[in-house]
């Protein structure tokens, strides 16, 4: 499969840009959310979240305090901090004949400032001017520009999301440089549709967003952004339809065995399956017995017992002498699945192995060898499962847990590790039917609606944060009774670093009070450290586990019966529901304390009261849809849609149906994408990394 060469500049590594070396590459990888090396395209898809309007050019007398202005001033005098007071600002006095301006710098080098703002010179300075002791002052101007170079100052300056260690200016420069490499591409959209919608070309849209002429140009609702969102939707819909057509064409195999492993598994379970578990297993086995390929969604609330259903499905294909794979979104979850599965597998004679990013060297090679020889029946892991060198002897079933974290792309990659692989997708977030169609295409669905027997309801209460002392006292009493407690730390600003700081501070404070019983687990810890912390907690060696939201999905310690969630108002409804699902799993009566900072807004109030009222995930999903829009139902926060980089459901949702119709029409007319527009659409698929679908066109 060869990518059209015209796209190569966009897929070149950003290290080709001046000033971007291996060290910055790592920071960019983090900024752009890339696992591998970031490419020009990733940079160009890093869209601004705001803009600074530098068009105001008042004379000093007319400056409105606390606004962003660009003023032309003459530099009159420098006043470095007095000796012995290095912390005092370095002041530079300037004027323009109508008034005076003091430019202030903290911790700046004298020689640098003397070069930047020499006495007697005229300079444009741009930044926020405010009144300080009645004098107009600008602290650290954003820009200082020589008089003759005014045109180098962007009138509207885009503001980008940053990451620690990468500041605004280098990011802007890198994006500018990437824009310069943007090739001219053929148009893949219908010309009359573009005209009707007021959309410009793909390249124009990117230029418009990165070099806005008006602040409104960078809004998600702008024609430029909408065009890109439409492109993304169209690529997604085309890919889904191609996959579906392919699945229908490539017939499956009958893969269910005689039931002997399943019988042994069920006998080894310490509990009886619920009615809906039994039904789900029957649905799946019926699919496996049919010659068509299975594409089924298993929806069930947190704790509804999906893992055992998946294991029974795997057992069915293993009975037929084939292999199964179970893929989880995180290392932690993969290990947890393994812990649940291993004893049952042992009891029934299923050979299980694990493969994540952590298995390396001999161990990994050995696992891969056994897998290729068919000596492993079930491979549990993370996305490490579809690395190139992973080869199955005969993969018949791929189970993908927490699907919305993976793209169609990844699901396909796993399904291609075998011949006509059946696919079972598990999700803990009930998804309304309309969304199922959008994200997963035409899938069958099984739902686990009953909770396993013996599950205790969780007593959920809301408490204002200023009563923290009472909460800590109650936690102390519970620890005295030997109970185990999760303490979930606040989302600070959705940046890992600051969230982590909050968790560390809380763990520290709680350790002061409760000593050794307290432990901490967070996303920055190494996988093995995380496992150890979880294991200590599961074994009761620690009793109070302070955690960032890494415990969100799937973690299972039945003895944990209390959860404290700090700043619950900052979490989404689905996320709170997921978190709370970690307790109420054992015999003890469980309590969830939602600590909130008063006063609560209307939506936050509604969210918390829904949680107090119900534990029914399907009901919570509906309320969530009503309160916050589709994006959040799937557990993503405010920003994008799962699997989409640029599209925002609030701004672009209405385009989705049009893209679906367009894709359907196009494929009906040109199923192989061979026409002129078809060829251009292939490029679109590459741009949005749906090129697995292009391969299906060939393989089909």
Tokens representing 402?
A: 């927490």
d(CA 212, CA 220): 13
Tokens of 132: 């300080």
Among 58, 186, 357, 452, binds ligand ADP (CB under 6 A): 452
Instruction: Spell out the long-range contacts of 208-215 with Cβ–Cβ below 8 A and sequence spacing 24 or more.
Output: 209/47, 209/48, 209/158, 210/44, 210/47, 210/48, 210/158, 210/175, 210/176, 210/179, 211/154, 211/158, 211/179, 212/48, 212/51, 212/156, 212/158, 213/155, 213/156, 214/156, 215/51, 215/53, 215/156
Shortest distance, position 309 Cβ to ligand ADP, whole Å: 8
Is residue 700 a contact partner of residue 249, using CB atoms and an 8 Å limit?
A: yes
Residue 306 CB, nearest approach to Mg ion (Å): 5
DSSP assignment letter at 166: B
Transcribe 5-40 into DSSP letters. Answer: GGGHHHHSBGGGSTT--HHHHHHHHHHTT-SS--BH
Judged by CB under 6 A, which of 184, 191, 453, 654 binds ligand ADP? 453
Instruction: Give the number of other CB atoms < 10 A from CB of residue 59.
Output: 14
Using CB under 5 A as the binding rule, whether residue 572 contacts Mg ion is answered as no
Whether 685 and 238 have beta carbons less than 8 Å apart is answered as: yes
Q: Which lies closer to ligand ADP via its Cβ, residue 276 or residue 410?
A: 276
635 near Mg ion, rule: CB under 5 A: no
Strands 590-596, 458-464: pairing is: parallel
Distance CA 671, CA 659 (A): 16
**Exposure b/e, 466-488, CB count within 10 A at least 16 = b:** eeeeebeebbeebbeeebbbbbb
User: Closest CB to ligand ADP belongs to which residue?
Assistant: 305
Q: How far apart are the first and last CA of the chain?
A: 13
Q: Which window, 378-386, 432-440, 534-542, 553-561, contacts ligand ADP (CB under 6 A)? A: 553-561
Tell me which residues in 178-217 interact with Mg ion (CB under 5 A): none
Verify binding: residue 543, ligand ADP, rule CB under 6 A.
no
Q: Is 404 in the site for ligand ADP (CB under 6 A)?
A: no
Least distance between Mg ion and beta carbon 314 (Å): 14
Give how far the C-alpha of residue 364 lies from the chain's centroid of Cα atoms, to the nearest Å.
28
384 binds, among Mg ion, ligand ADP, none (CB under 5 to 8 A by kind): none
Give least dist CB 184 to ligand ADP, A.
Answer: 49
Shortest separation between residue 273's beta carbon and ligand ADP, angstroms = 5
Least Å from the CB of residue 307 to Mg ion? 5
Q: Which of 27, 41, 206, 273 binds ligand ADP (CB under 6 A)?
A: 273
Q: Which does 302 bind (CB under 5 to 8 A by kind): Mg ion, ligand ADP, none?
A: ligand ADP
Measured distance CA(428)–CA(402) in Å, rounded: 6
Q: Would you list the DSSP string of 400-460? A: EESGGGS-HHHHHHHHTTSSS-EEEEEESS---HHHHHHHH-S-EEEEE-SPPTTPPPEEE
Closer residue to ligand ADP, CB minimum distance, 559 or 689: 559
Residue with smaller CB distance to ligand ADP, 154 or 303: 303
Residue span binding ligand ADP (CB under 6 A) among the ranges 87-95, 103-111, 379-387, 449-457: 449-457
Looking at 298-306, 312-320, 412-420, 459-467, which segment touches ligand ADP (CB under 6 A)?
298-306
For 665, left (φ over 0), alpha (ψ -120 to 50), or beta? alpha
C-alpha closest to that of 585 among 454, 475, 487: 454
Considering beta carbons, is residue 307 or 367 the nearer one to ligand ADP?
Answer: 307
**Cβ proximity to ligand ADP, 417 vs 484, nearer residue:** 484
For residue 615, the minimal CB distance to ligand ADP (Å) is: 13
Only segment of 19-27, 163-171, 383-391, 547-555 that touches Mg ion (CB under 5 A)? 547-555
Instruction: From 67-75, 81-89, 266-274, 505-513, give the range in contact with ligand ADP by CB under 6 A.
Output: 266-274
430 touching Mg ion, by CB under 5 A: no
* Minimum CB distance to ligand ADP, residue 529 (Å): 23
Site for ligand ADP in 418-447 (CB under 6 A): 428
* From candidates 48, 220, 300, 554, binder to Mg ion by CB under 5 A: 554
Taking CB under 6 A as the rule, does residue 271 contact ligand ADP?
yes
Shortest CB 428 distance to Mg ion, Å: 6
* CB 319 within 8 Å of CB 258: yes
Neighbouring residues of 646: CB distance < 8 A, sequence distance ≥ 6: 45, 47, 225, 228, 229, 231, 232, 640
Q: Does 617 bind Mg ion (CB under 5 A)?
A: no
Separation between Cα atoms, residue 551 and residue 522, nearest integer Å: 8
The pair phi, psi for residue 266, each rounded to 5°, is -65, -35
Identify whether the C-beta of residue 548 lies closer than 8 Å to the C-beta of residue 503.
yes
Least distance from ligand ADP to the Cβ atom of residue 430, Å: 12
Contact segment (CB under 6 A) with ligand ADP among 64-72, 301-309, 437-445, 598-606 equals: 301-309
Of these, 302, 314, 371, 611, which contacts ligand ADP (CB under 6 A)?
302
Residues that bind Mg ion (CB under 5 A): 554
Residues that bind ligand ADP (CB under 6 A): 271, 273-274, 277, 300, 302-308, 428, 452-454, 554, 556, 558, 585
């Amino acid at each position: 499969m060869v990518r059209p060469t015209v796209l190569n500049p966009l897929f070149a590594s950003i290290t080709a840009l001046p000033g971007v070396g291996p060290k910055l590459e790592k920071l960019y990888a983090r900024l752009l959310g890339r696992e591998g090396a970031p490419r020009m395209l990733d940079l160009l898809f890093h869209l601004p979240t705001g803009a600074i309007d530098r068009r105001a050019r008042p004379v000093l007398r007319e400056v409105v305090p606390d606004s962003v202005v660009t003023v032309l001033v003459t530099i009159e005098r420098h006043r470095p901090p007095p000796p012995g007071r290095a912390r005092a600002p370095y002041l530079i006095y300037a004027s323009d004949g109508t008034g005076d301006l003091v430019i202030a710098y903290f911790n700046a080098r004298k020689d640098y400032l003397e070069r930047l703002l020499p006495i007697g010179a005229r300079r444009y300075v741009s930044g926020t001017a405010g009144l300080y002791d009645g004098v107009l002052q600008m602290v650290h101007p954003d820009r200082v520009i020589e008089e003759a170079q005014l045109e180098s100052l962007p009138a509207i300056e885009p503001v980008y999301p940053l990451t620690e260690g990468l500041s605004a200016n280098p990011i802007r420069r890198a994006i500018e440089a990437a824009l310069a490499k943007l090739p001219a591409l053929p148009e893949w959209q219908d010309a009359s549709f573009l005209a009707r919608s007021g959309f410009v070309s793909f390249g124009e849209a990117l230029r418009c967003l990165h070099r806005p002429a008006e602040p409104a140009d960078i809004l998600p609702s702008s024609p430029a952004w909408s065009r890109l969102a439409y492109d993304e939707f169209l690529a997604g819909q085309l890919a889904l339809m191609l996959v579906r057509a392919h699945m229908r064409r490539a017939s499956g195999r009958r893969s269910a065995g005689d039931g002997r492993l399943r019988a042994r598994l069920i006998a080894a379970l310490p509990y009886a399956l619920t009615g809906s578990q039994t039904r789900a297993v029957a649905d799946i086995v019926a699919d496996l017995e049919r010659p068509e390929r299975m594409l089924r969604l298993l929806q069930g609330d947190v704790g509804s017992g999906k893992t055992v259903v998946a294991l029974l499905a795997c057992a069915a294909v293993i009975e037929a002498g084939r292999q199964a794979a179970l893929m989880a979104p995180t290392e932690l979850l993969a290990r947890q699945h393994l812990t649940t599965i291993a004893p049952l597998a042992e009891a029934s004679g299923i050979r299980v192995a694990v493969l994540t990013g952590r298995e390396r060297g001999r161990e990994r090679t050995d696992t891969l060898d056994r897998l290729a020889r068919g000596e492993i029946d079930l491979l549990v892991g993370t996305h490490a499962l579809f690395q190139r060198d992973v080869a199955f002897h005969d993969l018949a079933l791929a189970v993908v847990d927490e699907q919305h974290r993976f793209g169609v792309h990844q699901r396909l990659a796993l399904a291609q590790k075998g011949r006509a692989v059946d696919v079972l997708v598990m999700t803990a977030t009930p998804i309304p039917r309309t969304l199922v169609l959008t994200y997963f295409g035409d899938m069958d669905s099984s739902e686990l609606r009953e909770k396993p027997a013996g599950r205790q309801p969780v007593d959920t209460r809301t408490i204002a944060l200023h009563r923290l002392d009472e909460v800590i006292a109650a936690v102390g009493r519970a620890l005295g009774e030997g109970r185990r407690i999760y303490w979930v730390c606040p989302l600070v600003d959705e940046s890992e670093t600051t969230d982590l700081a909050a968790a560390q501070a809380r763990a520290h404070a709680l350790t002061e009070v409760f000593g050794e019983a307290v432990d901490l687990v967070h996303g920055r810890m190494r996988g093995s450290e995380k496992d150890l912390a979880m294991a200590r907690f599961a074994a009761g060696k620690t009793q109070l586990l302070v955690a960032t939201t890494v415990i969100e999905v799937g973690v299972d310690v039945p003895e944990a019966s209390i959860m404290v969630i700090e700043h619950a108002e900052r979490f989404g409804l689905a996320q709170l529901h997921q978190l709370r699902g970690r307790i109420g799993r054992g015999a003890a009566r469980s309590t969830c304390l939602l600590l909130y900072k008063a006063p609560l807004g209307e939506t936050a109030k509604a969210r918390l009261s829904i949680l107090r009222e119900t534990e029914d995930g399907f009901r919570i999903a509906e309320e969530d849809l009503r309160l916050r829009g589709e994006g959040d139902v799937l557990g993503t926060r405010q920003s994008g849609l799962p699997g989409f980089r640029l599209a925002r459901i609030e701004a672009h949702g209405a385009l989705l149906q049009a893209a679906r119709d367009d894709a359907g029409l196009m494929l009906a007319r040109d199923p192989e994408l061979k026409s002129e527009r078809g060829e251009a659409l292939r490029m679109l698929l590459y741009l949005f990394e749906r090129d697995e679908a292009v391969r299906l066109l060939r393989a089909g």
